Amino acid sequence: MEGDEKRVLFKGGLVYQHDGDVHHPRLADIMVAGNKILKIGSDLPEGGAEVIDVRDHLIVPGMINAHYHSHDTLCRGLFEEMPLEYWLLYTLPMGANRTKEEVRLRTLVGALESMRCGITTVQDMLGLIPLTEEYLDVVVDAYHEIGERVIFSPMVFDIPAIGMIRSRDELPDNIQKMLGTEALDAKSQLDFLDHQMKRRPASGLLNWAIGPFAPQRCTPNLIEGCADLADAHDLGVYIHTYETRAQILMAREKYGAYDGSFIRYMQAHGLLNHRLNIAHSVWLSREEMDLMAAADAGAVLCHNSNMKLKSGVSPILDMRAAGMRVGLGCDNCSGSDVQNMFQAMKSYCMLAAISDPLPGDNLSHEALKNATLGGARTALLHEELGALKEGYKADFMTIDMKDVAWLPFNSAARQLVYTETGRSIDNVVIDGRLVIRDKECTTINEEDLRSEVEDLMTSFIPEFENVRASREEALPHMLKAHNNVWSTHIGLRRFIARTNYGDGDL
Ligand SMILES: [Zn+2]
């Protein structure tokens, strides 16, 4: 009954609305009833609601991190920058076959960091190995425990991890095994997901999505099965595509039947439509952007991980010109080492700026829209998430404008994107619930989490050091394969290149 729902009145803040004045938002109250925004307006009557005074605060829609993996949150800070294919050598084993307690803790750590930074929804494209009901329950229950909204897509694949290497024959057998040579069955994974989505239907904080790992790790059979499953459950699809230069070479060399294009491969097998979101899309060609835009398919850009993992810079301005829709993501915790959409928004604007020397568009508002509504759209949730509007879910943060980042206050959009780091966030509301209140997490005991994680790390780190040492022998082989990738001409530039590198095609 609506009348029985708990009401909270956020009184006297500046309410950031995408279609309002994005530089000087209007002063208004927000009445939350249950999990939704009931009303936004001036001097709303209290009517028995709990009142929270948010004078001198900016109220901002919750960020939606549209590409994230909770499986490596314990690996933050373990790596300097390195190419993605190298990084996989270390991170794949540290994310698979863990204890249930570790899976719970790593999920909570990532969710807590996200919440504290105003990310009210994560798209968790989880590499859950083993993919079993009891492990899946651990993850979903952890999100409920802490109160973070999740768009959950356990990853599926039926081509082993070695399939991510352009020419596996360049690597000795034992090095191939390090990356992973075990194939899984497509049908049993699809049946499992179908069953789980019926057993734990989307409600409250839980939303589902379909997560085929990458085109090069999915047979046509699995791609078609994912497309059917997404249709049957009316869901978004997320798939890593064209993250590295090796991947576009793979498409050109091995997918000749599809014009050497992963986009056409997905198109031929029913996946290229309004549900599709490709994560990264660094090495997407202009022709493929047009195909994507025509299908209303989108990209989730993860610039900071693409830079740290030496993948390159995604062609933002070309995607804009093609009319592609865009969401933003922070990706792995050991691939950019922070869940912070302020950094993602800033990189979006900065990399767009450095992609064209001529005066351009004003991007700050666009970055904010991509980080909120654009992310919601990736999961077809843009009618309920991503904006401060009556009837939308009550997912938002309050920014304390007494922080020096807001001295002086000249523009909400520009200072959110270029100045704010997350430091000024003092309240976070998810599904109508204050999960961070006056900078305190209200849902879990942070000290308990800290001591449990610290205990766990006493065995995690020695195990990681063993993995690191065992990978030494792979490095010369990886370097050779990597040099081959970079000495092949492909006619696309995605790097801010050193002079005189390779064939000048960077
Ligand atoms: Zn990813």
Q: Is 182 a residue whose pLDDT tops 90? A: no
Residues forming beta bridges with residue 155, ordered by sequence position = 211
d(CA 439, CA 400): 11
pLDDT band at 497 (very low <50, low <70, confident <90, very high): low
Mean pLDDT of 452-476: 96
Report domain extents, the chain: 2-61+389-438, 63-378
- Residue 392 alpha carbon to ligand 1 centre in Å: 28
State how far Cα 141 lies from the chain centre.
20
- Environment of ion ligand 1 (residues, CB < 5 A): 331
Higher pLDDT, residue 503 or 181: 181
Pick the range with the lowest mean pLDDT from 63-72, 76-85, 242-251, 483-492: 483-492
How far separated are the first and last CA of the chain, in Å rounded?
Answer: 60
- Residue 390 alpha carbon to ligand 1 centre in Å: 33
Q: Tell me, what's the pLDDT at 264?
A: 98
pLDDT band at 93 (very low <50, low <70, confident <90, very high): confident
- Residue 41 alpha carbon to ligand 1 centre in Å: 40
Mean pLDDT of 285-290: 97
CB 266 within 8 A of CB 182: no
Higher pLDDT, residue 502 or 56: 56
- Residue 158 alpha carbon to ligand 1 centre in Å: 17
Q: Tell me, what's the pLDDT at 171?
A: 85
- Residue 467 alpha carbon to ligand 1 centre in Å: 21
- Residue 225 alpha carbon to ligand 1 centre in Å: 21
For 199-231, what is each residue's pLDDT tens digit?
A: 999 999 999 999 999 999 999 999 999 999 999
- Residue 153 alpha carbon to ligand 1 centre in Å: 12
What integer best gives the mean pLDDT of the chain? 95
- Residue 69 alpha carbon to ligand 1 centre in Å: 6
Residues 6+ apart with CB under 8 A from 350: none
Cα–Cα nearest to 161, from 244, 69, 93 = 93
CATH architecture of 2-61+389-438: Roll (2.30)
Q: Is 335 a residue whose pLDDT tops 90? A: yes
- Residue 422 alpha carbon to ligand 1 centre in Å: 23
d(CA 12, CA 40): 11
- Residue 241 alpha carbon to ligand 1 centre in Å: 9
Q: What is the torsional sign of CA 125, 118, 442, 391?
A: negative
- Residue 280 alpha carbon to ligand 1 centre in Å: 8
Q: Tell me, what's the pLDDT at 223?
A: 98
Q: Is 420 a residue whose pLDDT tops 80? A: yes
Instruction: Indicate if 63-378 has the same CATH topology as 2-61+389-438.
Output: no
3-state secondary structure of 351: helix
- Residue 261 alpha carbon to ligand 1 centre in Å: 20
In the chain, % of residues over pLDDT 70: 97
- Residue 126 alpha carbon to ligand 1 centre in Å: 9
Q: Is 502 a residue whose pLDDT tops 60? A: no
Q: Which CATH number does the domain 63-378 belong to among 3.40.50.300, 3.20.20.140, 2.70.98.10, 1.20.120.1810?
A: 3.20.20.140
3-state secondary structure of 245: helix
Q: Is 505 a residue whose pLDDT tops 80? A: no
In the chain, % of residues over pLDDT 90: 85
Q: Is 144 a residue whose pLDDT tops 90? A: yes
Q: Is 504 a residue whose pLDDT tops 50? A: no
Q: Is 290 a residue whose pLDDT tops 50? A: yes
Pick the range with the lowest mean pLDDT from 112-121, 197-206, 487-496: 487-496
Residues 6+ apart with CB under 8 A from 408: none
Q: Tell me, what's the pLDDT at 1?
A: 44
pLDDT band at 24 (very low <50, low <70, confident <90, very high): very high
- Residue 332 alpha carbon to ligand 1 centre in Å: 6
pTM of the model: 0.96
Q: What's the Cα-to-Cα distance from 84 to each of 53, 54, 252, 310, rounded to whole Å? A: 46, 43, 20, 7
pLDDT band at 181 (very low <50, low <70, confident <90, very high): confident
- Residue 75 alpha carbon to ligand 1 centre in Å: 15
Q: Is 194 a residue whose pLDDT tops 50? A: yes
SS (H, E, C) 258-308: HCCCHHHHHHHCCCCCCCEEEEECCCCCHHHHHHHHHCCCEEEECHHHHHH
Q: Is 500 a residue whose pLDDT tops 60? A: no
Q: Tell me, what's the pLDDT at 282?
A: 96
d(CA 506, CA 499): 10
State how far Cα 252 lies from the chain centre.
27
Mean pLDDT of 412-431: 98
- Residue 243 alpha carbon to ligand 1 centre in Å: 9
- Residue 26 alpha carbon to ligand 1 centre in Å: 37
Higher pLDDT, residue 354 or 506: 354
- Residue 30 alpha carbon to ligand 1 centre in Å: 35
Integer-rounded Cα Rg, in Å, for the chain is 22
Cα–Cα nearest to 330, from 356, 354, 348 = 348
Q: What's the Cα-to-Cα distance from 107 to each of 78, 99, 125, 250, 449, rounded to whole Å? A: 18, 12, 12, 33, 11
d(CA 128, CA 135): 8
d(CA 265, CA 282): 17
- Residue 116 alpha carbon to ligand 1 centre in Å: 21
Side chain identity, residue 493: R
- Residue 240 alpha carbon to ligand 1 centre in Å: 6
